[in-house]
Amino acid sequence: MAITQSLEKYQYFQQRVQPLLEIIYDQSTVQTLLKQIFEILQDYSSDFHEENLNKWSQDNILLITYGNSIEKFGEQPLLTLKNFLDKYLKDTITGVHILPFFPYSSDDGFSVIDYLKVNPQLGDWEDIENIANQFDLMADLVINHISSQSDWFQQFQQGEKPGSDYFITVDPSTDLSAVVRPRSTPVITPVDTPEGEKHVWATFSEDQIDLNFANPNVLLEFIKIILIYVQKGSKYIRLDAVGFLWKEIGTSCIHLPQTHAVVKLLRELLQLVNPSVVLITETNVPNRENLSYLGNRNEAHMIYNFSLPPLVLHALIQGKSDYLKTWMMSMPPAPLGCAYFNFTASHDGIGLRPTEGLLSEQEYWTMLETMKKFGGKVSMRTKPDGSESPYELNISLFDAMKGTVRGEDKWQVQRFLCSQTIMMSLEGIPAFYIHSLLATPNDYIKLKQTGINRSINRSKLDLNELENKLSHPNSPQSIVFRELCRRIQIRRHQTAFHPNATQYTLQLKRVLFGFWRQSIIRDQSIFCIFNLTDQPQVLRLSDLNLVCTDPWCDLISGETVDNIYSCLNLHPYQAIWLTNKF
């Protein structure tokens, strides 16, 4: 009986996994690889599971933070983070994305030296698991590249196994002009080895060496790593820069079929082992390319909504909804078992490639110039023709809201709150970067210290100084933090804000942005209306076609609507959640 069950289990596994492996490797490799992967899975699951379609609800709210974004003298940062979460956010957020918490050599963690160790300057695995016991943990799988200081790359440089076979070497005379670049640095970098100088693929920097997934042993290594992260309590696995994973000379080397097959494979394996785990892809690319990572509801469970940050920023500095509304109307509902990951700021800058085809050239350059006036920087990338173009804006989102295209004004706090409320109202799961939740301004000191544009939005906050600001009711940090927490807590109880609840764009005057959400079981509707300007605006309730048999109330202000044929007066940058169930 046991042998029969084992055979049936393997056949089920083979049926799910073999077609994906055949996209990536030749047939002779696939048969061996199937057995190796099956053996690995046996250590993590005695039973295989069907898909879980109830991974999330309106209650899911994530925080994005480094392990040491908040520091306290004499205390391990991960303990400081845990204490801060317990004290200030236990009733507000449900999950936390701790950006790479491993030993690293550059890029603030995204050049990983050892995937299986916690950076001792942050804490240890016990600290990570303590956070994961109380909050849904998102862990980064930095899958495209590894630090030049890692054991694998040191083995490559010394000609030793297994690392000697884990990287991609390229003849420096090879034409790589078709390769899509996210940076202006060379795509290959020279390295000394016992066999002489070799040139290895390095998409992001000379310290971040791309791994060779054409070698199936590299895939096996990452399957083991991802399963250990799940074992340590990770509920979300973020595939960093995954779009660049597979290389093929003569192509763009981005979004290749093998890359999509690897993502599908990882989803399949996670589903077999632990169907509650969510796989999320990080692909900072134009909107259509980004959407491709949902596959046919068989690839990523979630994708970053990369077009949202620049379009919300544009709408609020221009005071008009045209481009944001057009994009939103073009966005398909997330497929069954999938969701959008909504954010307006992160540890990286505001990506500009996701605006391609969405903003006019004039509006695009006006946005860039406005951000420069507010202290922001613009990072560049090299295009296939050798020219450079803007890749991302580097600025604290709070300071990005200092004013409009007309200049700075007095509405920074209100404008910023409006931006965050738009984000948390949309279809999808909202995530707040810690420096947005805390209204952190541009960090010019860190920028000067590192010379790296992204440092402007990667502050390390002293806990005592932060708590002092939060204790002063009139400080921008206190106002923003208290009000965002209040709105988040309201949002978590509304069934119409389920990540997959119906969403319909409203046709209002251009100074307003509005959409309608309806819960999956249709027991609640919410009209989300936002004044994008620094002037009062009038909303005719007849434009919303409210049902007259229901009482209506704005959840944010608490104001009730007695006459559905009257008008609402919106203050500058006011947000309204008008609902029939409260």
Residues noted as catalytic? 240
State the pLDDT at residue 3: 57
Question: Is residue 411 one of the residues assigned to a domain?
Answer: no
Of 195, 192, 191, 198, whose CA–CA distance to 172 is shortest? 198
Question: Is residue 445 one of the residues assigned to a domain?
Answer: no
Do the beta carbons of residue 562 and residue 545 sit within 8 Å?
no
For residue 34, the surrounding DSSP H or E stretch is helix 27-42
Which residues on neighbouring strands pair with residue 568, listed in sequence order?
539
* Residue 570 DSSP label: E
| pTM listed for this prediction | 0.97
Determine the longest span between alpha carbons in the chain, in angstroms.
82
Of 425, 397, 414, 413, whose CA–CA distance to 503 is shortest? 425
Which residue is it, tokens 């990286």?
Answer: 348
- List pLDDT tens digits, range 377-396: 999 998 888 889 999 999 99
**Which of the residues in the chain have pLDDT under 70?**
1-5
Q: Is 329 helix (H, G, I), strand (E, B) or coil?
A: helix
State the pLDDT at residue 533: 98
State the pLDDT at residue 1: 42
Do the beta carbons of residue 341 and residue 428 sit within 8 Å?
yes
Give, rounded to a whole angstrom, the gap between the first and last alpha carbons of the chain: 56
Q: Is 264 helix (H, G, I), strand (E, B) or coil?
A: helix
Do the beta carbons of residue 374 and residue 400 sit within 8 Å?
yes
Known binding site for substrate: residues? 107, 145, 238-240, 347-348, 454
Residues in the chain: 582
Question: Is residue 560 one of the residues assigned to a domain?
Answer: yes
Phi-psi region of 108 (alpha: psi -120 to 50; beta: other; left: phi over 0): left
Cα dist from 504 to 62, 137, 144, 329, 435, whole Å: 24, 31, 37, 8, 31
Q: In which domain, by residue range, is 555 found?
A: 503-579
For residue 447, the surrounding DSSP H or E stretch is helix 444-450
Counting the structural domains of the chain, the total is 1
Question: Is residue 290 one of the residues assigned to a domain?
Answer: no
State the pLDDT at residue 5: 62
Do the beta carbons of residue 93 and residue 80 sit within 8 Å?
no
Question: Is residue 307 one of the residues assigned to a domain?
Answer: no
Question: Is residue 573 one of the residues assigned to a domain?
Answer: yes
Do the beta carbons of residue 210 and residue 182 sit within 8 Å?
no
Read off the CATH number of the domain in which 561 is found: 2.60.40.1180
List helix spans (H) across 186-239: 216-231
Question: Is residue 484 one of the residues assigned to a domain?
Answer: no
Which residue is it, tokens 């309204």?
Answer: 576
Give long-range contacts, CB 8 A cutoff, 24+ apart: 440-448.
Answer: 440/396, 440/398, 440/477, 441/396, 441/398, 441/399, 442/375, 442/376, 442/395, 442/396, 442/399, 443/396, 444/375, 447/377
Peptide bond into 162 cis (omega under 30): yes
Residue 488 backbone phi and psi in degrees, to 5 = -60, -45
Amino acid identity for residue 31 in this structure: Q
User: Cα–Cα distance between 77 and 98 in angstroms, integer?
Assistant: 12
Query: Residue 413: is it exposed, middle or buried by C-beta count within 10 angstroms (0-12/13-18/19+)?
Result: middle
Mean of the per-residue pLDDT values of the chain:
96
Do the beta carbons of residue 93 and residue 488 sit within 8 Å?
yes
Known binding site: residues? 107, 145, 238-240, 347-348, 454
Of 144, 99, 129, whose CA–CA distance to 228 is shortest? 129
Question: Is residue 547 one of the residues assigned to a domain?
Answer: yes
